[in-house]
Structure 1
């Protein structure tokens, strides 16, 4: 009987889906989504399409957007792992660890004082600094429950980070070419100075294959610092016993690299996984763009945006100077 009810329920859901009358907004959104699957649509163009749609029709599926974006990003990053060698990744990770430690500590300290100076609410300021220091939205999502942040600080911090991510996707490749940065230099720079993994991979992918490999490896190694920062945050905000989310997909990324390094079958067909991963990241950025409208700007406010921009500029300039003259 239960099986029969379940089957009837599934058939009913399928019937509703097949008979669903799509609104003009939904049709435009779905058409744009299909366009972003085409091979000649780059990540920056997909983001721009999403932003344009956000201003005129909005996001017809707001409840699904966050889950879909999160899932697609993680799957795509794991897919990129199939195109990388573990030996190269270890070397890149070792070279970038000093930059990572110094930049994370430095940005958190500067963020604290900027928050005090601008009189920004403590948790909002901390989330913006954490998002800038480590990996944008992922860091904010992991740390916000640990510090028991309410919806308002989370929305403001995420809005600030997403706006700057969108700008970074166009600005960084342009600056990299203007400054004649090598693939290695650009890969490390964008991994350290761009917030979210999606924009890091998008910008590096535009710059070149080597830059993409280096940027992805350094960024994911950097993302692991979410774990110690989350534990430290429980003491800063006196919330002992709060649960810390561990980014397990990074482990799958490492396994994908190992498979590509030592399994001949994977080596022979890895380019298919990488191609699908790049398409997935393009769609991810399209979905992120669909969430960036004027309402987001209004939610963020002036002072948090100023803090986010100043931290971003400090991070970008300091890491670039280090890469050019010390690294």
Structure 2
């Protein structure tokens, strides 16, 4: 009970931000800036005033992590497997090219810029897969330094802030379809929360498509972590071969890296696909899940100290920006070749 009481202030503050952001969205003609973007930015503005207040920290952390995942699970009640399959056949092709671009381009650019391979790999993983979640999952298996983790997360987050604002504008400029924009944002924007914010700013349909693509993309974190575990073991074994010592390979805990909330999302899709859920009820659940998403984005903003993020170093920022830009362009060009744009 006491733990629940600790969550209340942060959750209520996040809810207040969400309600305020929804009102601000209505003021902007054409909804060019979504409620999620407003909540994120408002949270970042408020952060310096509450960062030292422990009364809010637990609730903000809970909202940014748990409630975000719960909102995505609920979104499954507004989708069917036919929609997922229609998007999936295109997204796998686009993802193949974007992941290859992120890791190959990141490796080459890291070499040119003289960045440590661990730092370069973390930035590439954050860009290619799912932002901070991918970085947090890969960092332990390659024994990355804390500074590298901070640099990697900061580099991808700054680009995400920019893309959340610019993506809907560019999508309308190119007159993209809901499916095309959902594919583009789902494969090119880094963090799940940023994908949600950018895609729903374009349209609700694009937001649903983008979530499907993003969740599919998130699953790639499992094989990528296993690959990096192997690479790290090989690198360390070469270092210690001359010294006659054996480096113990870090074990990968699949339970800690597998995004299990995706399974619950698919369960909700299965329930909706049975046809037993009334459309009116699923529409209400979808609206509620969107409110929870805006709350989560506000909480992420409340956790983010923008001045600290910008101090992470020049080279990692440039590396992250260039790789993210490469992924954006590759995703767009692949869809253009597929006739989706």
Shorter-chain TM range is: 0.7 to 0.9
Q: Does the 8 A contact of 1:82 with 1:273 survive in 2? A: yes
- The equivalent of 1:161 in structure 2 is 156
Query: SS in structure 2 opposite 1:162?
Result: helix
Query: SS in structure 1 opposite 2:268?
Result: helix
Query: SS in structure 1 opposite 2:143?
Result: coil
Determine whether 1:48 maps to 2:41: yes
Greater CA deviation, 191-200 or 113-122? 113-122
Structure 2 unaligned blocks of 5 or more: 26-34, 234-248
Query: SS in structure 1 opposite 2:78?
Result: coil
Determine whether 1:103 maps to 2:85: no
Determine whether 1:324 maps to 2:341: no
Q: Does the 8 A contact of 1:82 with 1:257 survive in 2? A: yes
Query: SS in structure 2 opposite 1:242?
Result: coil
- The equivalent of 1:4 in structure 2 is none
Instruction: Give distance in 2, aligned partners of 1:325 and 1:59.
Output: 50
* Cα displacement string for residues 55-92 of structure 1 (whole angstroms, at most 9, x for unaligned residues): 55546344654443111221111111111111110121
* Cα displacement string for residues 248-275 of structure 1 (whole angstroms, at most 9, x for unaligned residues): 0111111111111105136451222212
- The equivalent of 1:82 in structure 2 is 77
TM-score for the superposition, normalised by structure 2: 0.83
Determine whether 1:297 maps to 2:310: yes
Given candidates 258, 274, 277, the residue that maps to 1:265 is: 277
Q: Considering only aligned residues, what root-mean-square deviation do their CA atoms show, in Å?
A: 2.5
Instruction: Give distance in 2, aligned partners of 1:67 and 1:144.
Output: 23
* Closer/same/farther in 2, CA of residues 296 and 59 from structure 1, 3 Å limit: farther
Trace 1:110-259 onto structure 2 (pairs within 5 A): 110-238=105-233, 239-244=249-254, 245-259=257-271
Number of equivalent positions: 307
Q: Does the 8 A contact of 1:259 with 1:266 survive in 2? A: no
Post-superposition shift, 1:121?
2.4
Instruction: Give distance in 1, aligned partners of 2:123 and 2:59.
Output: 24
Q: Does the 8 A contact of 1:92 with 1:214 survive in 2? A: yes
TM-score for the superposition, normalised by structure 1: 0.86
* Cα displacement string for residues 108-164 of structure 1 (whole angstroms, at most 9, x for unaligned residues): 011011111112222221111001111112211221222222322111111122222
Instruction: Give distance in 2, aligned partners of 1:81 and 1:198.
Output: 16
